[in-house]
């Protein structure tokens, strides 16, 4: 029971739990938002409980998180000003916007950052494995509706193709990083990764392809010396094995979907182009401090959090966000190249890369909880361990490093 409410379990739930439960919510609570809100409430409650049961970090002041906190305050003030003073109704609802941002994102990130020293790889692995099973069971229970709702793309009422692709890739990243940790995880990876890959491919989300694949490539390139070479060779072996298993059909699906990025013919690309243009114009009109938290012609977020920050807060208000990003990038490089961090820290680093790439073409500042939690956690693991002069035990090698020397 303690593993289910541990800080590591809270982290797993915060970054992947919501959509892992999405299939069950779609099956048993298809109408309204009750099931979705209830699942988020349960996830946040577990994060809060894990914080109070943790005995460390509660009195610490982590200066490296101040840029994040300053940005949160500025962006929250912008949301309040837009909603209360200007009377803007932000889709999908002002209450949901504030709840997702302040509770699922900010609160979860800050509470988990205080407990990073007690995050156990064992508890993290148990939580991730359970979430993966729940995710796949949810899809199985909805197997008849998966393509009925989404057409040629896998989609459910509570999980759109983008979210489904990103969630599947999140679990793929986890299993590739933890492949040789134990016999259980090795067997799980051999069973689940092909299924998860099928889900990711048939969701037909370009963002999931680019962000998931890009994060794994960057992970391999960030390794140093011989580790980089043998990891890339290991990745080639994995890819060859998958091609032998699935043939070229999956390659054709991915290639066709990526080749459809054309503003002239693809409706998704057209919509994003219009949103980008509108958001950029709003930034140009108020470049110093920004003005609106949404793209006003559509009353929607522009699907690029970096442009969204400039649009909402201008250059000056986006400085804390830029500093937070630089700290996260530096921490990511450090965690991946070091051998002394646990699996949970390395997963946070790779997940941050994935979220940073994906956020350039999808998602919002207020709704991207995984981005905030992953970025805060990788910063805390890197700078927190240096701050407190704490060394972690060497981590086990994953599938992408299975040839790497000790």
pLDDT tens digits, residue range 324-342?
999 999 999 999 998 889 9
Looking at every residue in the chain, the average pLDDT score rounds to: 86
For residue 345, what pLDDT is reported?
96
Distances (CA, A) of 125 to 102, 119, 202, 338: 27, 11, 26, 20
The three-point CA angle 67-392-119 to 5° equals 65
Higher pLDDT, 3 or 42: 42
pLDDT value, residue 301: 93
In this prediction, residues 77-84 reach a mean pLDDT of 96
Token pair 């914080």 is found at 51
Q: Sign of the C-alpha dihedral, residues 383, 355, 171, 215?
A: negative
Tens of pLDDT, residue by residue over 191-249, are: 999 899 989 988 888 888 999 989 998 998 898 777 777 777 777 777 777 667 666 77
Neighbours of 299 (CB within 10 A): 12
CA distance 120 to 86: 46
- HSE of 226, CA atoms in CB hemisphere, 13 A: 5
What pLDDT score was predicted for residue 107? 95
Strongest mean pLDDT among 157-161, 233-237, 238-242, 384-388:
157-161
Q: Which two tokens stand for residue 385?
A: 């361990």
Q: CA 345 to CA 328: how far, in whole Å?
A: 12
pLDDT tens profile 108-140: 999 999 999 889 999 999 999 999 999 999 999
């Amino acid at each position: 029971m303690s593993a289910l409410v541990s800080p590591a379990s809270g982290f797993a739930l915060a970054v992947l739990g919501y959509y892992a439960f999405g299939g069950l919510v779609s099956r048993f609570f298809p109408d309204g938002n009750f099931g979705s809100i209830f699942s988020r409430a349960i996830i946040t409650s577990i994060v809060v409980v894990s914080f109070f049961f943790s005995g460390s970090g509660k009195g610490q002041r982590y200066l490296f998180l101040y840029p994040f906190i300053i940005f949160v305050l500025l962006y929250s003030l912008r949301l309040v000003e837009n909603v209360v003073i200007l009377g803007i109704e932000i889709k999908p609802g002002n209450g949901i916007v504030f709840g997702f941002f302040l509770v699922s994102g900010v609160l979860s990130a800050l509470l988990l950052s205080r407990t990073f020293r007690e995050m156990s790889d064992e508890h993290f692995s148990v939580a991730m494995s359970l979430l993966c099973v729940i995710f796949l069971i949810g899809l199985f229970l909805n197997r008849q509706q998966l393509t009925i709702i989404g057409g040629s793309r896998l989609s459910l009422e509570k999980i759109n193709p983008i979210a489904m692709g990103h969630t599947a890739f999140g679990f793929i990243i986890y299993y590739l990083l933890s492949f040789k940790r134990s016999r259980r995880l090795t067997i799980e990876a051999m069973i689940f990764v092909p299924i998860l890959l099928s889900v990711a491919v048939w969701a037909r989300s370009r963002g999931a392809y680019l962000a998931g694949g890009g994060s794994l490539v960057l992970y391999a390139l960030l390794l140093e010396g011989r580790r980089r070479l043998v990891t890339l060779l290991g990745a080639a072996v994995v890819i060859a094995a998958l091609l032998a298993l699935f043939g070229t059909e999956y390659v054709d699906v991915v290639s066709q979907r990526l080749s459809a990025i054309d503003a002239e013919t693809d409706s998704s690309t057209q919509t994003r182009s219009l949103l980008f243009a509108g958001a950029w114009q709003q930034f140009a009109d108020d470049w110093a401090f920004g003005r609106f938290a949404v793209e006003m012609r559509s009353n929607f977020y522009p699907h690029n959090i970096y442009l969204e920050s400039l649009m909402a807060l201008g250059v000056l208000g986006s400085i804390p966000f830029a500093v937070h990003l630089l700290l996260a990038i530096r921490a990511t490089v450090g965690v991946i190249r070091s051998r002394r961090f646990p699996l949970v820290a390395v997963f946070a680093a790779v997940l941050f890369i994935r979220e940073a790439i994906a956020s350039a073409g999808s998602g919002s500042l207020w709704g991207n909880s995984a981005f905030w939690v992953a970025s805060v956690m990788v910063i805390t693991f890197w700078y927190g361990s240096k701050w407190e002069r704490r060394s972690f035990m060497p981590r086990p090698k994953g599938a992408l490093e299975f040839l790497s020397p000790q």
